[in-house]
């Protein structure tokens, strides 16, 4: 009897396969393709390297953490509680005066919470959004510059909602002093922002630090900071706490240097490296915004991420969210959970309902993996140097399920015969704090954000935008509406390659077209202008 | 004999735990310093801690309306 993919996957789970890799392995065996001999940890059939190579105990820690697993971020949500307003260092990309409900970037919040309010908020969100699995403290200052508030919050939450994973994000200056407390509260994940390992570079990013009752400036400040960060990272690694390194890519200041940072953090056991683009705009009032320091283009960012990819896992799905964000990474539902609304909510924390919901999420997730594995078979044996990018409008769950006109961001996949469909990032097209854009301007913004893509996959699209996209060389594809992203992308790519081989499609490399990560922002307009040679 | 917190305070709370005299307290929209308790950190640190940790320059400043703090001889 021929078993379906679903039946094979279910049989694998019953037989004790606990992670996606084991299941993928079973499915690969079922399909009769070669398997690797590294203890069965690695699935074959061209499954992209990276996440699927993780040892089971690590996978278990990251599999439901949307920030640590690209795959998980399609299915699971996180929230930040803004209990930590104080900071102990000054960064040129941050402005502590900034508070805006319509702005989405780190360090920005609408209101600050006490640990007690935060605990209530977590319960309210967990009851409303059952796929919310992770609680992070990320500011708006530095969590470890507010240790009492941070650890009090963790204590309250671990008591009332023990199934929620705890994590925090720090600049690392006081990390070595708190590692043992972090371990005691079972904080599984710590993110350190490391922008340099060379104090000369650091002096251009950090005007000062406050350390042991003194303010240090210049190279001395950066030297202390980097020493403390590396010491903290080593201490986390010794205790088996997973660490992610965030680095802000600042063109002309640390862009090339981040390769050194990558080596330094990898050698100290960091799990994941997240190179993020500088967000810089004069109206943010940051030093970099005011001095006209530009952020990178999508191409510059990808090139740097690609060059570090061989060294360690790279995070490419970061949305650089607010310190009070709530929801899936691409969405922000924080407005539904203001303190005023939470205090009125009748919260009933029902663990069983949450677990039942998450079991359904796992089924969906398994279906996505299965579909991807089977579709990769389609590409087996085909070899081509052609790589193309496609943009996807999605609301989550790994499906093409968003209307073109409603998308606030597009997920970008790189298609190649070597890796199949590989997630490489996202482009924001919502026009935060801009206002007044007409429909035509909105379309123009989307085209600027995805002009390096060959196609955009949508659930639905109107005739006019379809025509305009086509004129810009981007094919709007709605035939895969509500289907799985990666499966659809591979189907599309196979057809594309066949067309090229048959001569019905002329392949054009669009990779050099400058696309913008956040085209709504003024500073990026300067980049776009600068990138076009004057005639 | 004290520092004061100017209107440019962003209410971040960084100063509060640093004060060796526990002179800093929160108000509705900003933090404030009790001048009767503030010693400008004399006797504790080389420089006033609130001013060193404050993220906004010229926010924790000497209060000219008070005579400078004189430590007991």
ipTM: 0.92
Q: Which of B9, B13, B20, B28 to mutate to test the interface with A (most CBs of A within 10 A)?
A: B13
For residue A209, give how far its alpha carbon lies from the nearest alpha carbon of chain B (Å): 8
Report yes or no: A109 at the B interface, CB cutoff 8 Å: no
A407: Cα within 13 Å, side-chain hemisphere? 29
Tokens of A320: 């650089």
Q: Which residues contact A42 (CB under 8 A, 6 or more apart)?
A: A21, A25, A36, A52, A53
Q: Which of B8, B10, B14 sits opposite A145 (nearest CB)?
A: B14
Supply A52's token pair.
């699927």
Q: Is the pLDDT of residue A381 over 90?
A: no
* Measured distance CA(A323)–CA(A332) in Å, rounded: 11
Nearest by Cα to A85 from B60, B51, B22, B55: B55
Selected for mutation to probe chain B from A140, A151, A177, A210 (highest B CB count within 10 Å) is A210
Least confident interval from A33-37, A76-80, A175-179, A397-401: A33-37
> According to the model, what pLDDT value does residue A95 have?
86
* pLDDT at residue A100 in the model: 57
Rounded to the nearest angstrom, the minimum Cα separation between A174 and chain B is 14
Asked if CATH classification 3.30.70.20 holds for the domain at B1-67, the reply, yes or no, is: yes
Pairing of the two strands A165-170 and A132-137: parallel
What are the tokens at B33? 């310093």
Q: Rounded distance, CA B40 to CA B49, Å? A: 8
- Testing the interface with A: which of B53, B54, B56, B59 to mutate, by most A Cβ within 10 A? B53
What's the confidence (pLDDT) of residue A211? 97
A514/A364 Cα distance (integer angstroms): 35
* CA quadruple A510, A307, A203, A229: dihedral sign: positive
Tokens (6 digits) for A209: 């630090």
- Three-state SS letters, A346-375: CCCCCHHHHHHHHHHHHHHHHHHHHHHHHH
Burial degree of B28 (CB within 10 A; 0-12, 13-18, 19+): exposed
Query: What contacts A295, CB < 8 A, 6 or more positions away?
Result: A249, A250, A251, A277, A278, A279, A280, A517, A518, A523, A524, A527
Nearest to B12 among A85, A148, A213 (CB): A85
Is B55–A87 a contact, with Cβ atoms under 8 angstroms apart?
A: yes
More confident residue, A121 or A54: A121
A35 pLDDT higher than 60: no
The alpha-carbon radius of gyration of chain B (Å, integer) is: 11
**Which tops the pLDDT comparison, A36 or A225?**
A225
Residue B47 to residue A96, Cβ atoms within 8 A: no
DSSP letter at A247 equals: E
Question: Helix, strand or coil for residue A112?
Answer: coil
* Closest CA–CA distance from residue A89 to any residue of chain B (Å): 8
pLDDT band at A383 (very low <50, low <70, confident <90, very high): confident
**CA atoms of A301 and A264, how far apart (whole Å):** 19
Angle, helix A258-267 to helix A298-309, in steps of 10 degrees: 30
Interface A-B, measured as beta-carbon pairs within 8 A, has a size of 44
Q: List the single residue in B14, B45, B46 with the smallest CB-CB distance to A86.
A: B14
pLDDT confidence of residue A17:
44
Question: Which residue is listed with tokens 């097209």?
Answer: A429
Across A394-480, the runs of DSSP E, i.e. the strands, are 409-416, 420-428, 455-457, 475-477
Inter-chain residue contact B52 with A214, CB threshold 8 Å: yes
Q: What is the DSSP letter of B55?
A: S
Q: Of B29 and B53, which is predicted with more confidence?
A: B53
Coil vs helix vs strand at A406: helix
Residue of A nearest to B51 (CA): A215
Nearest alpha carbon to residue A15 among A50, A37, A40:
A40
Q: How confident is the model at residue A43 (pLDDT cuts 50, 70, 90)?
A: very low
End-to-end CA distance of chain B: 16
Selected residues 132-161 of chain A with any CB under 8 Å from a CB in chain B:
140-141, 145-146, 148
Higher-confidence position of A420 and A458: A458
Contact A141 B52 (CB under 8 A): no
SS3 B13: coil
Parse chain B into domains and list their residue ranges: 1-67
Q: How far, in Å, CA of A390 to CA of A357, rounded?
A: 31
pLDDT, tens digit, 9 for 90 and up, residues A430-479 = 754 344 444 557 888 899 899 999 999 999 998 889 999 999 999 999 99
- Kindly state the helix (H) or strand (E) to which residue A379 belongs, with its residue range: helix A351-379
Lowest-confidence range among A43-57, A366-380, B27-41, B44-58? Answer: A43-57
Residue A320 in this model has a pLDDT that exceeds 90:
no
Select from A393, A408, A377, A357 the least CA-distant residue to A132. A357
DSSP character string of A184-238: HTT--EEEEE---SSHHHHTTT-SEEEETTEEEEHHHHHHHHHHHHHHHHHHHHH
Instruction: Give the pLDDT mean for A398-414.
Output: 91
Q: What was the pLDDT predicted at A98?
A: 58
Contact A212/B at CB under 8 A: no
Does the distance separating the beta carbons of B10 and A96 come in below 8 Å?
Answer: yes
Residues 6+ apart with CB under 8 A from A86: A141, A142, A145, A146, B12, B13, B14, B16, B17, B53
CB-based contact A477:A455 (threshold 8 Å): yes
Which of B8, B14, B49 lies nearest to residue A213, judging by beta carbons? B49
pLDDT score recorded for residue A322: 76
Confidence of residue A528 (pLDDT cuts 50, 70, 90): very low
**Burial call A444-469: b when 16+ CB within 10 Å, e when fewer:** ebbbbbbbbbbbbbbbebeeebbebb
pLDDT score of A507: 92
Is the Cβ–Cβ distance between A65 and A187 less than 8 Å? Answer: no
B26 touches chain A (CB under 8 A): no
What pLDDT is stored for residue A369 in this prediction? 85
Which residue does chain B place closest to A98, by CA atoms? B10
A13, A25 in Cβ contact below 8 A? no
Question: Does pLDDT of A486 surpass 50?
Answer: yes
Residue A255 makes CB contacts below 8 A (sequence gap 6+) with: A249, A296, A300, A304
User: A42 pLDDT band (50/70/90 cuts)?
Assistant: very low
Between A534 and A360, name the one with better pLDDT.
A360
Residue of higher predicted confidence among A181 and A53:
A181
Write the residue in B10, B18, B49 that is nearest to A97 by C-beta.
Answer: B10
Instruction: Report the percentage of chain B scoring pLDDT > 90.
Output: 71
Residues on chain B touching A140 (C-beta within 8 angstroms): 12
- What span, in angstroms and rounded, lies between the C-alpha atoms of A37 and A353? 40
A429 to chain B, any CB pair closer than 8 A? The answer is no
Q: Does A215 touch chain B (CB under 8 A)?
A: yes
Distance between CA A357 and CA A71 in Å, rounded? 18
CA distance A64 to A19: 11
**Is the preceding peptide bond at A224 cis, omega within 30 degrees of 0?**
no
Kindly state the average pLDDT of the residues A129-149: 92
Confidence of residue A31 (pLDDT cuts 50, 70, 90): very low
Q: What is the pLDDT of residues B13-23, one digit of tens each?
A: 999 999 999 99
Q: Is the pLDDT of residue B24 over 90?
A: yes
Distance, in angstroms, between A257 CA and closest chain B CA?
Answer: 27
pLDDT value, residue A24: 40
| Inter-chain residue contact B52 with A213, CB threshold 8 Å | yes
Shortest Cα–Cα distance, A199 to chain B (Å):
21
- Residue A212's pLDDT band (cuts 50, 70, 90): very high
Q: Which of A51-60, A157-166, A409-418 has the lowest mean pLDDT?
A: A51-60
Compare A246 and A443 and report the one with higher pLDDT. A246
Domains of chain A, with CATH numbers? 1-54+350-377 (no CATH), 76-344 (3.20.20.70), 381-531 (3.30.420.130)
Chain B contacts in chain A segment 33-92 (CB below 8 A)? 85-88, 90
Q: How many Å lie between the alpha carbon of A112 and the closest alpha carbon of chain B?
A: 9
Q: Which residue has the higher pLDDT, A311 or A207?
A: A207
Report the sign of the C-alpha dihedral through residues A70, A75, A76, A78, in that order.
positive
Structure tokens at A37: 């001999």
User: pTM score, two decimals?
Assistant: 0.82
């Amino acid at each position: 009897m021929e078993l379906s993919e679903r039946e094979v996957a279910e049989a694998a789970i019953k037989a004790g396969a606990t992670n996606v890799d084991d299941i993928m392995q079973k499915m690969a065996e079922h399909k009769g393709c070669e398997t690797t001999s590294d203890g069965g940890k690695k699935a074959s059939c061209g499954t992209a390297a990276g996440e699927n190579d993780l040892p089971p105990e690590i996978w278990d820690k990251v599999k439901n953490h949307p920030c640590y697993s690209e795959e998980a971020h399609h299915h699971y949500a996180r929230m930040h509680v803004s209990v930590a307003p104080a900071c102990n260092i000054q960064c040129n990309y941050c402005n502590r005066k900034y508070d805006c409900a319509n702005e989405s970037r780190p360090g920005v919040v609408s209101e600050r919470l006490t640990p007690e309010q935060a605990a209530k908020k977590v319960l309210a969100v967990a009851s409303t959004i059952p796929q919310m699995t992770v609680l992070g403290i990320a500011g708006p200052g530095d969590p470890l510059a507010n240790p009492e508030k941070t650890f009090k919050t963790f204590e309250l939450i671990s008591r009332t909602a023990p199934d929620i994973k705890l994590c925090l994000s720090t600049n690392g200056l006081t990390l070595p002093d708190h590692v043992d407390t972090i371990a005691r509260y079972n904080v599984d994940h710590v993110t350190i922002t490391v922008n340099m390992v060379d104090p000369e570079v650091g002096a251009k990013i950090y005007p000062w630090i406050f350390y042991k009752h003194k303010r240090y400036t210049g190279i001395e400040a950066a030297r202390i900071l980097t020493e403390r960060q590396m010491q903290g990272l080593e201490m986390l690694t010794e205790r088996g706490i997973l660490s992610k390194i965030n680095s802000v890519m600042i063109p002309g200041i640390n862009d090339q240097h981040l390769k050194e940072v990558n080596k330094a953090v990898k050698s100290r056991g960091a799990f994941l490296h997240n190179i993020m683009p500088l967000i810089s705009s004069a109206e943010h009032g940051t030093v970099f915004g005011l001095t006209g320091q530009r952020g990178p283009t999508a191409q510059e960012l990808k090139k740097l991420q690609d060059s570090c990819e061989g060294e360690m896992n790279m995070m490419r799905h970061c949305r650089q969210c607010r310190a009070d964000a709530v929801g899936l990474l691409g969405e922000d539902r924080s407005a539904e959970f203001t303190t005023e609304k939470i205090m009125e909510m009748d919260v009933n924390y029902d663990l069983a309902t949450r677990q039942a919901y998450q079991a359904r999420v796992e089924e969906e997730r398994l279906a996505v993996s299965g579909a991807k594995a089977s579709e990769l078979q389609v590409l087996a044996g085909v070899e081509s140097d052609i790589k193309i990018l496609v943009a996807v409008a999605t609301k989550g769950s790994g499906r093409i399920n968003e209307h073109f006109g409603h998308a606030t961001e597009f997920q970008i996949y790189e298609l190649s015969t070597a890796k199949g469909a590989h997630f490489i990032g996202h482009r924001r097209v919502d026009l935060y704090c801009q206002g007044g854009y007409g429909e035509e301007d909105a379309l123009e913004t989307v085209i600027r954000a995805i002009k390096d893509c060959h196609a955009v996959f949508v659930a639905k699209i109107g005739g006019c935008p379809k025509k305009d996209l086509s004129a810009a060389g981007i094919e709007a594809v709605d035939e895969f509406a509500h289907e799985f992203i990666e499966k659809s992308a591979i189907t599309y790519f196979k057809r594309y390659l066949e067309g090229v081989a048959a001569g019905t499609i002329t392949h054009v490399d669009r990779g050099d077209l400058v696309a913008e990560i956040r085209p709504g922002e003024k500073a990026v307009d300067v980049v776009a202008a600068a990138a076009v040679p004057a005639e | 004999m004290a520092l004061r917190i100017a209107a440019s305070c962003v209410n971040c709370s960084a100063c509060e735990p640093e004060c060796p005299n526990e002179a800093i307290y929160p108000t509705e929209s900003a933090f404030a310093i009790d001048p009767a308790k503030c010693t400008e950190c004399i006797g504790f640190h080389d420089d006033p801690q609130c001013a060193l940790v404050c993220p906004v320059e010229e926010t924790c400043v000497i209060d000219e309306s008070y005579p400078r703090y004189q430590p007991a001889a």
